[in-house]
Amino acid sequence: MLRLQTCIPALVAERLPTCRERARRLPGACQKPAKTCHGLPAPSTPLAPFAWRGESGAMKLLLVEDDAQAAAFLKRALAEAGHTVDLAASGRDGLLLAAGEAYDVIILDRMLPHLDGLAILRTIRASKVKTPVLILTAMGGIDDRVEGLEAGGDDYLIKPFAFSELLARVNALARRPPTSDVTTTLRVADVEMDLLKRTLTRAGERIELQPREFQLLEFLMRHAGRVVTRTMLLEGVWDFHFDPKTNIVDTHISRLRGKLDRGHSRELIHTVRGAGYCLREP
Amino acid sequence: MFRSSSLRLAALYTAGFALSVVALGAISLITTEAALRRMFDDRIAAESASLIQEYRTEGREGVVQAVRERDRTPGALDYGLQGADGRAIAGRLAGARAPAGWSVLSMGAAREDAERTRVLAARLPNGERLLVGDDVDRTEALNDELVRRLALAFVGVVLLGVAGGWGLSRGVHRRIASITGTAQAIIDGDLTRRVPAARAADDLGSLAATLNRMLDRIGVLMESVRQVSNDIAHDLRTPLTRLRARLEASLRAGDRAERVEAIEGALADLDAILGTFAALLRIAQIEGGARRAAFRPVDLAELSRTVVEAFAPSAEDAGQSLQLRAEGPLLAEGDPELLTQMLVNLVENGLRHAGPNARVEVRCKRAGGAPVISVVDDGPGVPAAERERLFDRFHRLETSRSTPGSGLGLALVAAVARLHGAEASLDDAAPGLACLVTFQTPG
């Protein structure tokens, strides 16, 4: 389990902003009661740097969303996660901003008045802007997703979504390693993964994994230091683009953990409550 | 009635028929007239030739006698014999001034009812002129008679056409009006109305039957839509009620932890509702059938292996077992994403309802060339009478009401199967249940 300050504030920020606001006005206000919303001890320093950006740092985001309420909520939540957010309420504004400013990630609502989100995306891509784009959409069809990705989107999130899901995906996009296709070895802490020989060692000791466990760990290692949600794992590892009712991700993670962390004092795979998992050095 | 298309058709048809009668009449009239005239002329020419022959055998006196004799015979032609200088010798036409050859003379030109006579003037070998002629009006009387009869036939045709068209279109109009009336009644809300069955097994009768079948089908669909909306209302009302209660509880909660617990419960309820929505939308999208464009060859055994590997650990943790039995690749045309979801639903359904310690097996094989995927469990099974309804939306066995699930899993399986031209069915696996998806034989 991650330590408190590494995971909780996002969820507190998302679900109980009043508490955070109180906390901001009066540091320590959230220390009582001693338990937080999640039944965990309250963060000792509520204003401690936000965990999820601990390693990704503050990002500059562009949010193109016409629904004022949703936009305001997302902007505030993203700002509380430590990011700078520019808001564009129309496709035209979004285009101007995307072309004129350098962003780490663009969050683009697919259905905008007057101008289709995908049309904007194509225009952005045609003008050689390579900023990662996360498409938000109310259309959940398979073809819609394929269309979105073909238009130049990097990821696709169907409304309604949990804010933690959005945040995890934005983080994942921002730090997508540009040289991933030529990397042959992944290293996190004392874990080393050889992608060509498909072998894994921890502290020099060989660990045998099933092929799917290997893929799962590879996904976690490629996103090391960042939270990956269950949905991201389902899509990235199993290619399941729907939500099974059984929690298969947790089971597989627990088996992987058994093989990877057993006999080692430092656990590498951490559960981020209400969001997903994170592979990181303790 | 006057805007009836059948009447208009009948009128057009009658008019066309009348026109063709007129054309036919005109042609036969012209032909008959020409034939009559030729016969008329032939008779005159033959008479003239026979008199000239008479001259050769009997001499001049024979001809004079013959002319006089024939002039007295009623109904015979008119004759005349003139000297070479034109002076009258004998016969009724002796005084006529006719040029050599054929001509038409008006006898007694002064009078209104002048007789017109067709005359052939020939010369006898002695130079005298022989005139043979006949009353032209006799051919014209024949013609007039023909015209009169044709006109009668024309009137008859038109009368018959109008009467027939009227009668015919009245019948057709009545039957079309009954279809229109039924449609109007349905527009006005009476969905049970049907077009009265026709006695005749003709095209209108088959149209009425087809319309009735269409209305029956629409009725069934409307009923199923109504059923689905009832089910949605019912199946969503329960979690929505829970959601509302939890949110109200969170308002009342004095304790922060209590409030958070209520809100987290509410979020879970909300996710369940959204899951149901997603499943319904997915089924609707699949039933729309627009996904066939994305079909490509898929190895069902490979898909099954992925799904079994994904779910086996969870099953083992629950004390169950999930296994795959496949003999080599099993190819079918399809949408891998939907087929995966179908398999997942089948496997989850088996694991959920087969109970603890259950063994669930996914089998991939061919039956008579057709790929078959079956998910077989050794759970309590389902009574035969209940099996077919399991594929209905929101249908859940009373015994499984207590287990979690939206009741949409197998409905989605059926929808994906239908999209692939495959058949989803249930079978007794003694003691458990076997869910089968039978694809079509390739090629």
Spatial contact of B346 and B422, defined as CB atoms under 8 Å apart: no
| Residue A11 confidence class, pLDDT cut points 50, 70, 90 | very low
Is residue B233 domain-shared with residue B312, that is, in the same domain?
no
Quick one: B266 and B311 in the same domain? no
Which chain A residue has the Cα nearest residue B270? A160
H-helix or E-strand spanning residue A6: helix A4-15
Contact list in B for residue A33 (CB cut-off 8 A) is 255-257
Q: Compute the nearest-CA separation of A36 from chain B (Å).
A: 7
**Residue B319: which CATH number?**
3.30.565.10
pLDDT band per the 50, 70, 90 thresholds, residue A6: very low
For residues A180 and B308, the model is more confident at B308
Taking each helix axis from N to C end, the angle separating B336-353 and B300-317, rounded to the nearest 10 degrees, works out to 30
Residue of A137, A233, A246, A256 to mutate when probing chain B, most B C-beta within 10 A: A246
Check A251 against B314: CB less than 8 A apart. yes
Q: With contacts defined as CB-CB under 8 Å, which chain B residues touch A37?
A: 256-257, 259-260, 263-264
Both B281 and B303 in one domain: the answer is no
Query: Is the same domain home to B282 and B300?
Result: no
Taken in order B291, B294, B296, B301, the sign of the CA dihedral is: negative
The one-letter amino acid at A259: K
Residue B155 lies in a domain: no
Residue B173 counted as domain residue: no
Q: How confident is the model over A206-218, as a mean pLDDT?
A: 93
Tokens of B144: 């007039």
Quick one: pLDDT at residue B60?
Answer: 84
Alpha-helix runs per DSSP H in B188-294: 203-252, 256-288
Q: Do A245 and B314 touch (CB under 8 A)?
A: no
pLDDT computed for residue B3 by the predictor: 65
Q: For residue B134, what are the β-bridge partners?
A: B118
B216 touching chain A per CB within 8 A: no
How far, in Å, CA of B401 to CA of B392, rounded?
15
In this structure, the answer to whether residues B427 and B301 fall within a common structural domain is yes
Alpha-carbon distance of B47 to B78, in angstroms, equals 10
Q: Which long-range contacts (CB under 8 A, 24 or more apart) does A177-183 make?
A: A177/A222, A180/A222
> What is the Rg, in whole angstroms, of the alpha carbon atoms belonging to chain A?
20
Tokens coding B264: 């987290």
CB-count burial class (<10 Å; 0-12, 13-18, 19+) for A93:
middle
How far separated are the first and last CA of chain A, in Å rounded? 10
Final residue of a structural domain among B256, B271, B287: B287
Flag if A251 and B317 touch (Cβ within 8 Å).
Answer: yes
Same domain for B243 and B134: no
Is B273 found in the same domain as B327?
no
Spatial contact of A38 and A274, defined as CB atoms under 8 Å apart: yes
DSSP 8-state code for residue A206: E
Cβ within 8 Å, pair A246-B338: no
The verdict on B411 and B368 lying in the same domain is yes
Domain boundary, last residue among B237, B267, B287:
B287
Q: In B, residues 251-280, which contact A (CB 8 Å cutoff)?
A: 255-257, 259-260, 263-264, 267, 274-275, 278
- What's the alpha-carbon Rg for chain B, to the nearest Å? 50
Q: Which residues pair with B182 in a beta bridge?
A: none
Contacting residues of B for A15, CB less than 8 Å apart: 260, 263, 267
Q: For residues B25 and A223, what is the distance between their CA atoms, to the nearest angstrom?
A: 98
Examine residue B185 and state whether it is found in any structural domain, yes or no. no
Residues of chain A contacting residue B352, judged by C-beta atoms under 8 Å apart: 245
Residues B318 and B214 in one domain: no
Is B311's Cβ below 8 Å from some Cβ in A? Answer: yes
Question: What is the per-residue pLDDT for A253?
Answer: 95
Of B238, B258, B287, the residue that ends a domain is B287
Helices (H) and strands (E) in chain A, counts: 10, 12
> Residue ranges of the alpha helices (H) in A187-281?
211-222, 230-233, 248-261
Inform me whether the C-beta atom of residue B310 falls under 8 Å from chain A C-beta atoms: yes
SS3 for B299?
strand
Q: Could you tell me which of B111, B104, B109 has the C-alpha nearest to residue B44?
A: B104
Please check whether residue B161 lies inside any domain of the structure: no
> Cα(A65)–Cα(B132) distance, rounded to whole angstroms?
114
d(CA B286, CA A136): 22
Q: Which of B260, B306, B360 to mutate to test the interface with A (most CBs of A within 10 A)?
A: B260
Locate B43 and state its tokens.
């008779």
Q: Is residue B195 part of a domain?
A: no
User: Which helix H or strand E contains B24, and what residues bound it?
Assistant: helix B5-72
Residue A267 above 70 pLDDT? yes
- Tell me, yes or no, if B227 comes closer than 8 A to chain A by beta carbon: no
How many domains does chain B contain in total? 3
Q: Contact, B411 vs B392, CB < 8 A?
A: yes
Q: Show residues of chain A in contact with B291, CB under 8 Å.
A: 142-143
- Please indicate, yes or no, whether residues B267 and B342 belong to a single structural domain of this protein: no
Cβ atoms of B327 and B365 within 8 Å: the answer is yes
Task: Tell me which DSSP letter residue A235 carries.
Answer: I
Nearest-neighbour CA in chain B from A109: distance (Å): 19
Q: Which amino acid is at A282?
A: P
For A42, nearest residue in chain B (alpha carbons): B257
Is the CB of B30 inside 8 Å of chain A's CB atoms?
A: no
> What's the confidence (pLDDT) of residue A132?
92
Our CA-based measurement puts residue A99 at a distance from the nearest CA of chain B, in whole angstroms, of 34
What is residue A43's DSSP assignment? P
By Cβ distance, the residue of B259, B282, B310 closest to A238 is: B310
Residue B160 lies in a domain: no
Q: What is the DSSP string of B40-67?
A: HHHHHHHHHHHHHHHHHHHHHHHHHHHH
- Would you tell me how many other CB atoms lie within 10 Å of the CB of residue A87? 19
Do B324 and B242 fall into the same domain? Answer: no
Tens-place pLDDT, residues B382-436: 887 777 777 776 665 555 444 555 678 888 898 899 889 899 998 888 888 899 9
Q: How many interchain CB pairs under 8 A, A with B? A: 76
Locate the chain B residue with the closest alpha carbon to A30: B256
Residues in chain B with CB shorter than 8 Å from the CB of A35 are: 256-257
Nearest to A232 by CA among A277, A280, A279, A179: A277
Q: Which of A37, A142, A241 is closest, CB to CB, to B291?
A: A142
Q: Say yes or no for a CB contact (<8 Å) between B285 and A141.
A: yes
Residues of B in contact with A246 (CB under 8 A): 311, 314, 348, 351
Long-range (24+ apart) CB contacts under 8 A made by A46-49 are A46/A9, A46/A12, A46/A20, A47/A23, A48/A5, A48/A9, A49/A5, A49/A82
- For residues A230-255, average pLDDT: 92
Contact between chains at A245 and B348 (C-beta distance less than 8 A): yes
Cβ <8 Å between A37 and B340 = no
Does B412 fall in a domain? yes
Collapse the DSSP code of B305 into the 3-class scheme (helix H, G, I; strand E, B; otherwise coil) and give the result.
Answer: helix
Q: Which strands, in side-by-side order, build the sheet including A199-202?
A: A185-188, A191-194, A199-202, A205-207
Residue contact B313–A252, C-beta within 8 A:
yes
Q: Are strands A105-109 and A133-137 parallel, antiparallel or unpaired?
A: parallel
Interchain proximity A142–B306, CB inside 8 Å: no
Q: Using the beta-carbon criterion (under 8 Å), do A246 and B348 form an inter-chain contact? A: yes
A282 or B339, higher pLDDT: B339
Q: Which pairing describes strands B296-299 and B129-135: parallel, antiparallel, or unpaired?
A: unpaired
Q: Is B168 inside a domain boundary?
A: no
Residue of chain B nearest A38, judged by CA positions: B260
More confident position, B398 or A219: A219
Q: Tally the residues of chain B.
A: 443
Q: Which domain holds residue B264?
A: 203-287
pLDDT digits (tens, 9 = 90+) for A96-149: 899 888 999 999 998 888 778 888 899 989 988 889 999 998 876 777 888 888
CA distance B69 to B54: 13
B310 → closest Cβ in A37, A38, A248: A248
Spatial distance between the Cα atoms of A107 and A169, rounded to a whole number of angstroms: 10
Phi-psi label, residue B369: left if phi above 0, alpha if psi -120 to 50, beta otherwise: left
Contact B309 A251 (CB under 8 A): no
CA pair distance B305, B311, nearest whole angstrom: 10
Q: For chain B, which ranges sit under pLDDT 50?
A: 110-111, 400-402
Pick the residue from chain A with its C-alpha nearest to B309. A212
Residue A105's beta-bridge partner residues? A61
In three-state secondary structure terms, A270 is strand
Q: Is the pTM of this model over 0.80?
A: no
Say whether both B230 and B361 belong to one domain. no
Distance CA B374, CA B365 (A): 9
Contact: B257, A212; criterion CB under 8 Å: no
Chain B CB contacts of A39 under 8 Å are 257, 260
